[in-house]
Structure 1
């Protein structure tokens, strides 16, 4: 690059060193192989990229064009596959991390220390920010990061890259979210299934099961879905007038594991404890909804020692199963629930 053009010029640099796979060791030494995905390796790789950016900025100062340049440092997504520390939801920490991108902007002839703002900005705001900073253009989309954004709806598309996407016309697994408010708050996201009060819905028949079954669940089967981890999460929009959730479920029990207990909690507070046995492997139970709940309720199903059918010699299924969800419904407030489960 050079700065010899007689008219204002824009440059766009795309740094691939910020992307997985992680291949740098301490000191930005090329490892010669792909390293594991971890916060430590992510920090090393990001540091190497930012050191090169800093070197470029210093060079702009040396040749006398830094002050007269508008500079933006942005990313299309945040900490890919790593959990955000801003997340109020443990099962959503990775998603929130992905939706929390780097966004820094230096206007022309700016002075003073770096200012940190709380605006919820993203890559779609780059054009509006650039036009606002230069005062030479306008764009129909986005919100300038240089001005208070106030209430806004931000759209975020989540996906996991696959090599087949190179030749695909569309990404079928693309999931759209709308964010209204602080990105770290679960209530700001358009999450969870919306189900009416009093009408049971079979899990296998849900069109929006992907929104409802957040993490820790296997694929949908003809009867419902199995948990496949020690913790499995559900998220749903709490409908007006709902006082409890009624769940019909089955427990993964067998001769090698004749009894199992699954606890259900909200924000660490246990709401129910469900026992399963060989004689009572299918049960229906009620989960009272807390009075202090947010609009979006996230329930954690914690399974002690999930085990696979293959380990027990029952089949070739290697998934560690615990509880299977069959149907769910909401009970009105003040309606008596079923007997308390010990």
Structure 2
């Protein structure tokens, strides 16, 4: 009973938070601000949205194709169509139940390509490790190109950058000490963490040892390039964001990448987070949130259409299986 309640809460709480944030955003805005937000969304240039949808589709196709580089060494060669539809069905599932897509994705290939679930799921974990490395690199790049803005923010808010760096170094030192403690500890929790870390490292090593690691790395970089481009082209849908600089785009992209997992598909959180970060770059809340809603709506529409079609077509195209 407790497990069912926890599962229900994991679904209901993020969704409730997203709905509350939408309500709060609407209620806290003046009638003029709400109208301005709506006008920005309705007047968005549809051609840029269409281009964003095309770039997003390319990223999903590349992800499906990249998957074969991890499955081939295990003796499996799934059809690209099945891999692609499994990816999209997984994304669709994440809109309803956060982080359930990976499980459904592996289960889909297990059903239609006879690939053992454990092997399929293990390759997905390896993929996620590669994606995490690229995301962290993007975060680091974003911080690097915005040192002037960061120092200006520190100065405007009377924040001592030296003290901030010192606190950061202290946190890193504490983290290193904790890792050292976990490594030498026999506590049950520490043992579980060590097993998890060992699995992650093994997944990273498997990527480097694969025969076709360079094509795998190429597709990984291509996927994230398409993510950034599908985000970037939407800036041209609104005149106020069309001239946003590289710093603003990278900062908004990074914030959005983390906000998308806060609720079911980022509902409610994503537009507010984008609007909040763009305020630092002189873009009003209404224009920033409108941009966030268009990006979120474009990505969600793509998942709903392709995920829904994949859900319907998978059994039809695999009737013999």
Q: So what's the TM-score if we normalise by structure 2?
A: 0.19
Highest CA radius of gyration, 1 or 2? Answer: 1
Q: So what's the TM-score if we normalise by structure 1?
A: 0.18
Relative to its length, the structure with more strand (as a share) is 1
* Larger relative contact order, structure 1 or 2 (CA cutoff 8 Å, min sep 6): 2
Relative to its length, the structure with more helix (as a share) is 2
